[in-house]
Amino acid sequence: MIQKQKGTKDIFFEEMEIWEEIEKNIKEICNTYNIKQIRTPIFEATELFARGVGNETDVVSKEMYTFLDKGGRSITLRPELTAGVVRAYIENGFSSRTSPVKLWYTGSMYRYEKMQKGRYREFSQFGVEMFGSSSVLTDVEVISIACKLFEKLGVLDKLTLKINSIGCKECRAKYVKALKEYLADKIDGMCEDCKIRYNKNPMRIIDCKQEKCQDVKNGLPTILDYLCDDCKKYFESLKFMLDNLNIKYEIDSSIVRGLDYYNKTVFEFISEDLNLAVGGGGRYDGLVETLGGTSTPAVGFGLGMDRIVLLLQEYKKQETQKPDIYLLTTTNEQFIYATTMLANELRNSGKIVETNISDRSFNAQLKYANKIGAKYLIVIGDEELKSKKVQLKNMDTGKVIQIDLNVKEILNNI
């Protein structure tokens, strides 16, 4: 038997309804913030991620699905979506539009990763990117959109918003120097990855999850002590605005994000209960220029949809939708009447309707209606068709009432 690939999954029934609920809320929320949807290709030139995400990041150096196509091009299945959105922004001349340009997306991404809870090799993200504003108010709006989604889904209070500033090039240079000085006599005892990071990108050491690096990490200098005046002021405004908009947060200077393109504001949403980072984002003022566009400030986030699904499964335990009504018929004539006169219209008004499409016997249909949890049942026999009166049975209580045989009467009573 052929099985699904490691790191992929099939989604159906109950879980699919959770996905649909999340997607519905995303659309509604983005619409109310006047953010427009964008879809970009699933594969892009490998160079886009090498340049955009950073060659030294784990994502690019270890986790990408990269291959040569039949034309000899180096192709990569997108491991994240910001780089692709920025490419589209530049290529389609969006910089000449009224700013800020506000975009949202959902879609599948691919990383060759170790499997963990909520972590797949094919995974899905919802993200928002805003281009053309360097104001901290845009950072605040972006954060508030993510909060709004969690609030609507009923899990905001289950999450911790952690914020940090990783400053600009100048503050980062000072910090990296201090970091290297601090680590100089400790790096030999750290993991192999950190030894490489020490020379190539020391801030990545803050992210290290290896057991042997944790002690050293606890004493690290914090970036917040090295911010320049401008970055310090920016971070203060961010906190001031979040406070005043009643958005709860914690400051965590260990949040540096795994990707190279961020500056100033970075943030993550963490589920402490599930020990799961649900997503995060930050400001990336240099990325548009890095990828060949004109210098454009930008800020955004990406949230793991698979992880939001896990949250909802954990906290909401929602029941899958049940049919509203079962229309019981035993002859073709009855079935035709039930379909054309009742089911079609009931479905048009949003009701979930099941009919006898498996050609079951009367008793088998009663059993079936019970099994699928139908809320109401109507028997449409020859007698009922003649008298235009039917019995509407409430399947939960067993109560039966007599009503006229028409859609309006049925809708009024279920």
Shortest reach from residue 209's CB to Zn ion, in Å: 8
Check residue 191 for interaction with Zn ion (CB under 5 A): yes
Residue 213 CB, nearest distance to Zn ion (Å)? 3
CA distance 173 to 169: 6
- Tell me how far, at minimum, the Cβ of 95 lies from Zn ion, in Å: 24
* Residue span binding Zn ion (CB under 5 A) among the ranges 74-82, 182-190, 248-256, 282-290: 182-190
How crowded is the C-beta side of 385, counted as CA atoms within 13 Å?
17
- Listed ranges 35-43, 186-194, 235-243, 387-395: which one lies at the site for Zn ion (CB under 5 A): 186-194
Residue from the set 194, 242, 277, 308 that interacts with Zn ion by CB under 5 A? 194
Of 213 and 270, the one with the shorter C-beta distance to Zn ion is 213
Minimum distance of Zn ion from residue 256's CB (angstroms)? 14
Read off the DSSP letter of residue 150: H
Q: What is the DSSP letter of 342?
A: I
| Chain mean position to CA 339 | 39
Site string for Zn ion, 198-237 (x = CB under 5 A): ----------x-x--x--------------x--x------
Which of 46, 143, 40, 90 has the alpha carbon at shortest distance from 296? 90
**Smallest distance from the beta carbon of 169 to Zn ion, in angstroms?**
7
Please classify residue 412 by burial: count the beta carbons closer than 10 Å to its beta carbon, then call 0-12 exposed, 13-18 middle and 19+ buried. Answer: exposed
The CB-of-226 to Zn ion minimum distance in angstroms stands at 9
Which residues 277-296 are close enough to bind Zn ion by CB under 5 A?
none
Please give the span between the terminal C-alpha atoms of the chain, in angstroms, as a whole number.
45
C-alpha 394 chain-centroid distance: 39
| Rounded distance between C-alpha atoms, residue 123 and residue 7, angstroms | 9
CA distance 232 to 222: 13
Cα separation, 332 vs 340, whole angstroms: 12
CB of 232 to Zn ion, least distance (A): 8
Chain Cα centroid distance, residue 292:
28
Place of tokens 């997108």: 78
What is the pattern of x (binds Zn ion, CB under 5 A) and - over residues 132-171?
-----------------------------------xx--x
Q: Which is nearer to Zn ion, 152 or 239 (CB)?
A: 239
123 HSE (CA, 13 A, CB side): 28
Of 170 and 383, CB closest to Zn ion: 170
Q: Which CB, 205 or 305, lies closer to Zn ion?
A: 205
On whether the CB atoms of residues 281 and 85 are closer than 8 A, the answer is: no
Q: Which is nearer to Zn ion, 192 or 319 (CB)?
A: 192
The nearer residue to Zn ion, 69 or 229, going by C-beta atoms, is 229
Q: Which parts of this chain interact with Zn ion (CB under 5 A)?
A: 167-168, 171, 190-191, 194, 208, 210, 213, 228, 231
